[in-house]
Amino acid sequence: MEQASGDDPAEPGRSRPSEGGRRARRVTSIDVARRAGVSASAVSRAFTEGAYISRELKARVMAAARELDYEPNPLARGLITRRSGMVALLMDELSNPFYPEALQAFGSELHRRGKRVMLFAPAPGEPLEDVLPQALRYSVDGIVVASAHVTSALAEAARKAAAPVVLFNRMLEHGGLSAVTCDNHAAAELVARLLAEAGHRRPAFVAGLETASTSIHRERGFAAGLHQAGLGAPRRVSGGYTYQGGYAAALELCRGGETPDAIFVANDIMALGVVDALRRELGLDVPGDVSVVGFDDIPAASWPSYDLTTMRQPLRAMVSETVQLLEDQLESAYPKATTVTLPGRLIRRGSARLPPA
Amino acid sequence: MEQASGDDPAEPGRSRPSEGGRRARRVTSIDVARRAGVSASAVSRAFTEGAYISRELKARVMAAARELDYEPNPLARGLITRRSGMVALLMDELSNPFYPEALQAFGSELHRRGKRVMLFAPAPGEPLEDVLPQALRYSVDGIVVASAHVTSALAEAARKAAAPVVLFNRMLEHGGLSAVTCDNHAAAELVARLLAEAGHRRPAFVAGLETASTSIHRERGFAAGLHQAGLGAPRRVSGGYTYQGGYAAALELCRGGETPDAIFVANDIMALGVVDALRRELGLDVPGDVSVVGFDDIPAASWPSYDLTTMRQPLRAMVSETVQLLEDQLESAYPKATTVTLPGRLIRRGSARLPPA
DNA sequence: CTGAAAGCGCTAACAG
DNA sequence: CTGTTAGCGCTTTCAG
């Protein structure tokens, strides 16, 4: 009698007393099948997009499923389909507010598409390509890499594993990886022209991580824009993409020679450090003595204490493009690397003297 | 010879030409077993902590595994053990820098223990208890809830599912859930006493979310401390735990009556808004006209523009306690709810006049 | 269009 | 201590 067929697994109080009380038995596709009077395959088909199943049967299955509060187990499904419904996110700069924002955006975007986020936040030292196999073990549907430390080793590992990888907010010249970035060159070029037009003559650049494509492209674009305006190459210092680095960079820039009258900083978090160093430690006026322009438009950029003029990255668009690229790669058998470049938008605030819009 | 036994699956160039080139065949426990000349169970045992297996056999298996670059598939393993090695993290306040920091910390702590983070960042509207079943479908080893929106509905759902849940940086009075928090009451009490001792007579409190335990306890502790010092209840305004909310709260506090001479703010991100409103919009001096004390010690608190005196939460300790509680719950068949409370530490900076330490 | 049977990769009894 | 046998929950040929 204990084994009477057709017993409802959702029914309470039927668990074996010896079970320990933990981990209620899960409702499976077989439970649903029994209830709907069909086979397990039918249940599977009902839950598979575009599977051959009659309208009527599907409805019956779905009804039973609803009653039992059933949904397919993604792990079991993933074992055979090799897709777990999870997307791995590699991020190692959570201390830059741009990334938590991106994380949030990825969360909702993926959730909308029925997927989940598996986060990999490797410690500073750990090589990214070590993370890749770990992610793959979980049969993730794809991998988004948002770390400044992408190397060709990673690209190579991705290629060998034939894993769908998309770089977010960075790119790799010859790695053969898809990527989504802002048009860093054009954006930086515009900043340079505007700064020059406003009469600045001693521009400087604060770089981020020397190997980061974002920093490199922003620097090149900035130099190109200055050149067009008839100005020479800017002085440059590196700030490692951190607040402290920006702070130190500003000091070095001002103490190590002629004080610049404009500083273009490769990202906002560093720019905040630059502004603080300029004002609090050097007693300079921003933008009176020196104009500061950042990149990203993180929330703090709009705070009155900073009121930072900055190049906004189209975050939501970048995120949804990234996810789309991932899906495209999953569809195609031999996907080719695609790079999507989205325009930035200048947000004029009070930290820089700029010509009227 | 194409089918010679013992062929190495990791060997390149052997994939069937018709395969499409995607998704290289994975190396399984059977591959390792064959190579080591043992059974699949032996491989399983070799990779299972404390399983009955001889030293010698284990060594042999591990050697073969290493050569093949094998590690067990956590999804397949999870199907039977009901543990996937993933821990779900529910966080919906990523815009408060305290949480990205916590996220990072959870990432390393869990990584250290061989687990992965599955992030759930529900949109503002979405009820938390809806997220629970989603997480459980993935056979997560546990769930860390770091959302201010914990309700008894969540607790109830967790109880019914018998899921290991630990609340991080919040608690629920009668929910029966384990939790890790800072000693909010004691910390706030200390702030009150110190502020009073320094001569402040018109204290105010900026609350976070009205339903958040952190905000409630900090408010109670603050009131208690003021009472001990012979002061009345503080004026209070709510700031919703956001920068903008803190900004608005400060304005309300100062325009809606007598300007306070000290403001204790339930968290740092709001405190930054308070400081900005005070200085930039009201032209007040901090701490000359009004002292401001925050809570958390987020990175921005130490920036020269704010130099915020604040109560630091012992983040790393809180995180590791949380993970430990989760593990304890997994071990025990009938775990009982445990609350761990860690002391905060006052970080004296320049935003408040306080008696010397 | 539907069901039966096989199997994804692994672990957990169960014998030996 | 080790191998053999089932089976986690699902999808997928393969017949019908």
Mean pLDDT of the A232-253 span: 97
For residues A53 and A90, membership in a common domain is answered with no
A176 and A119, same domain (yes or no): yes
**CATH code for position B111:** 3.40.50.2300
Q: Which residue of B has its CA nearest to A97?
A: B97
Closest-CA distance, A292 to chain B, in angstroms, reads: 16
* Residue among A21, A76, A111 minimizing CB distance to B333: A21
Interface of A with B in 298-317 (CB under 8 A): 299-300, 303-306
Q: Which amino acid is at A62?
A: M
End-to-end CA distance of chain A: 82
Q: Which residue has the tokens 């502020």?
A: B195
**Interface residue A228 vs chain B (CB under 8 A):** no
Q: Which residue has the higher pLDDT, A325 or A330?
A: A325
A118: nearest CB among B118, B121, B275: B118
Query: What confidence tens digit (pLDDT) does each residue in A49-58 have?
Result: 888 898 999 9
Shortest CA distance from A331: residue in chain B: B22
List all nucleotides in chain C with at least one atom under 7 A from a protein Cβ. 1-13
Q: Which two tokens stand for residue A289?
A: 């003595």
Residue A174 within a domain: yes
In this complex, the answer to whether residue A48 has its CB under 7 A from any atom of chain D, a nucleic strand, is: yes
Backbone dihedral angles phi then psi of residue B304, each to the nearest 5 degrees: -55, -35
Q: Is A123 part of a structural domain of the chain?
A: yes
Mean pLDDT for chain A? 90
B124 touches chain A (CB under 8 A): no
CA distance to A104, A187, A260, per residue, from B103 (Å):
12, 32, 38
Distance from CA of A79 to the nearest CA of B (A): 6
Same domain flag for B198 and B229: yes
* Structural domain ending residue among the three candidates A81, A96, A123: A81
For residue A311, the surrounding DSSP H or E stretch is strand A309-312
Residue type at position A51: A
Separation CA B122–CA B128 (nearest Å): 7
Residue A355 in any domain: the answer is no
A92-150 pLDDT, tens digit each:
999 999 999 999 999 999 999 989 999 999 887 778 888 888 899 999 999 999 998 88
Q: Report CA(B11)–C1'(C13) in Å, whole number.
A: 35
In a domain, B330, yes or no: yes
A338: which residues sit within 8 A by CB, 6+ positions away?
A178, A179, A325, A328
Contacts of B78 in chain A (CB under 8 A): 75
A202 C-beta neighbours (distance < 10 Å), count: 16
Angle at A308 between CA A240 and CA A95, to 5 degrees: 40
Q: Do B303 and A121 touch (CB under 8 A)?
A: no
Of A81, A107, A135, which residue is a domain's last? A81
Chain B window 4-63: residues with CB closer than 7 Å to nucleic chain D are 38-42, 45, 52-54, 56-58
Q: Do A121 and B107 touch (CB under 8 A)?
A: yes
Same domain? For A43 and A164 the reply is: no
Do B121 and B65 share a structural domain?
Answer: no
Contact B267, B208 (CB under 8 A): yes
A298 and A206 housed in the same domain: yes
Question: Among B60, B81, B102, which residue terminates a domain?
Answer: B81
Would you say residue B1 lies in a domain? no
Q: What's the total number of domains in chain A?
A: 3
The domain that holds A27 is classified in CATH as: 1.10.260.40
Place of tokens 């300029």: A278
CA atoms of B325 and B347, how far apart (whole Å): 28
pLDDT score, position B19: 35
Residue A1 inside a domain? The answer is no
This prediction has a pTM of: 0.91
Q: Is the CB of B73 under 7 A from strand D?
A: no
Element (DSSP H or E) covering residue B167: strand B165-168
DSSP annotation of A204: E
Nearest to B352 by CA among B292, B302, B300: B292
Helices (H), chain A: 29-36, 40-46, 55-68, 74-81, 98-112, 128-137, 152-161, 184-197, 213-228, 243-255, 268-276, 315-331
Q: In whole angstroms, how far apart are CA B316 and each of B102, B119, B297, B326?
A: 8, 19, 13, 15
**How many Cα atoms are found within 13 Å in the side-chain-facing hemisphere of B78?**
26
- Tell me, yes or no, whether B4 lies in a domain: no
Residues A36 and A129 in one domain: no
Closest CA to B122 of B147, B96, B99: B147
Same domain for B331 and B305? no
Q: B101 and chain A: CB distance < 8 Å anywhere?
A: yes
- Its domain, for residue B25, covers 12-81
B334 in contact with A, Cβ within 8 Å: yes
Residues ≥6 apart with Cβ < 8 Å to B288: none
Identify all chain B residues contacting A116, using CB atoms and an 8 Å cutoff: 118-120, 134, 138
**Residue A12 confidence (pLDDT) above 50:** no
pLDDT string in tens for chain B (357-residue length) = 333 333 333 333 333 333 334 556 789 999 999 999 999 999 999 999 888 899 999 999 999 999 999 999 999 999 999 999 999 999 999 999 999 999 999 999 999 998 999 999 988 777 888 888 889 999 999 999 999 888 888 888 888 888 899 999 999 988 889 999 999 999 999 999 999 999 999 999 999 999 999 999 999 999 999 999 999 999 999 999 999 999 999 999 999 889 999 999 999 999 999 999 999 999 999 999 999 999 999 999 999 999 999 999 999 999 999 999 999 988 887 778 999 999 999 999 999 999 998
Tell me how far apart the alpha carbons of residues A8 and A337 are, in angstroms, rounded to a whole number. Answer: 50
One domain for residues B339 and B261 = no
Nucleotide nearest to B45 (CA to C1'): C11
Query: Would residue B2 count as lying in a domain?
Result: no
Straight-line distance from CA A139 to C1' D14, in Å? 27
Which residues contact residue A225 at a Cβ distance below 8 angstroms, ignoring those fewer than 6 apart? A188, A189, A190, A191, A192, A193, A196
Residue A285's CB: how many other CB atoms inside 10 A? 10
Q: How far apart are CA A2 and CA A4, in angstroms?
A: 6
Same domain as A119, residue A46: no
Q: Which of B82, B94, B132 to mutate to test the interface with A (most CBs of A within 10 A)?
A: B94
Cis peptide preceding A287, ω within 30 of 0: yes
Residues B220, B119 within the same domain: no
* Same-domain check for residues A129 and A152: yes
Which member of A303, A305, A334 has the closest CB to residue B21?
A334
